[in-house]
Amino acid sequence: MQAKQDNVVSIHYVLRDTDGEIIDQSAEGQPLNYLHGHGNIVPGLEKAIEGHGEGDEVKATIEPEEAYGPHREDLIQKVSKDAFQGVDELAPGMSFRAESDAGPMIVTVKEVEENEVTVDGNHVLAGQTLDFTVNVAAVREASAEELEHGHVHDGSTHE
């Protein structure tokens, strides 16, 4: 069976930056399972895996536009420290869920000043070209429930 729309695909992957440094990888013996064609992984990688089956190795270089998007300066903002009431200590690198005009997003604290905090709403990999090496571990048909929910059910509880 080959990876195509509405199939569950299990992959082992190694993600490297353009210098060859490992950014992320699947855990040993624990492939990433996703529902193909439902936006569960970056679009460029999904396109590269399309049509491949169990045992195939896929190498793909994904440009920012097909990964986490370009780095956007408009997603970096200064906000009042008052927005963080209840947080005892703010430090660069901390992440928070925030509401925006476009819906909920994760922001990362970049700088903490006396009365203001600089936050960045870009994904940490925005603007980066990504190099993936993927081994397709398995491909199967999705269940009706997985298709209805738009993601793989792996036996853990969810809403």
Give the model's pLDDT for residue 85. Answer: 86
pLDDT tier, 153 (very low <50, low <70, confident <90, very high otherwise)? confident
Per residue in 9-56, pLDDT (tens digit) is: 999 999 999 999 999 999 999 999 999 999 999 999 999 999 999 999
Its pTM stands at 0.81
Give one DSSP letter per residue of 36-76, joined into a string: TTTTSS-HHHHHHHTT-BTT-EEEEEE-GGGTT----GGGE
Structure tokens at 57: 């190795």
Distance CA 75, CA 101 (A): 12
Distance CA 81, CA 61 (A): 40
pLDDT at 142 exceeding the cut of 90? yes
**Is residue 46 classed exposed, middle or buried when 0-12, 13-18 and 19+ CB atoms within 10 A define those classes?**
buried
Give the model's pLDDT for residue 15. Answer: 98
Distances (CA, A) of 124 to 41, 68, 107, 128: 15, 8, 10, 9
Alpha carbons within 13 angstroms on the beta-carbon side of residue 90 total 24
Distance CA 73, CA 122 (A): 9
Yes or no: say if 97 and 23 are a contact pair by the CB < 8 Å rule. no
Torsion of CA 138, 143, 148, 154, to 10 degrees: -60
Domains in the chain with CATH codes: 7-68+127-149 (3.10.50.40), 73-120 (2.40.10.330)
pLDDT at 159 exceeding the cut of 80? no
Per residue in 96-124, pLDDT (tens digit) is: 998 888 788 899 999 999 999 999 999 99
Per residue in 44-99, pLDDT (tens digit) is: 999 999 999 999 999 999 999 999 999 999 999 999 999 898 888 999 999 999 88
Yes or no: say if 78 and 136 are a contact pair by the CB < 8 Å rule. no
Yes or no: say if 157 and 75 are a contact pair by the CB < 8 Å rule. no
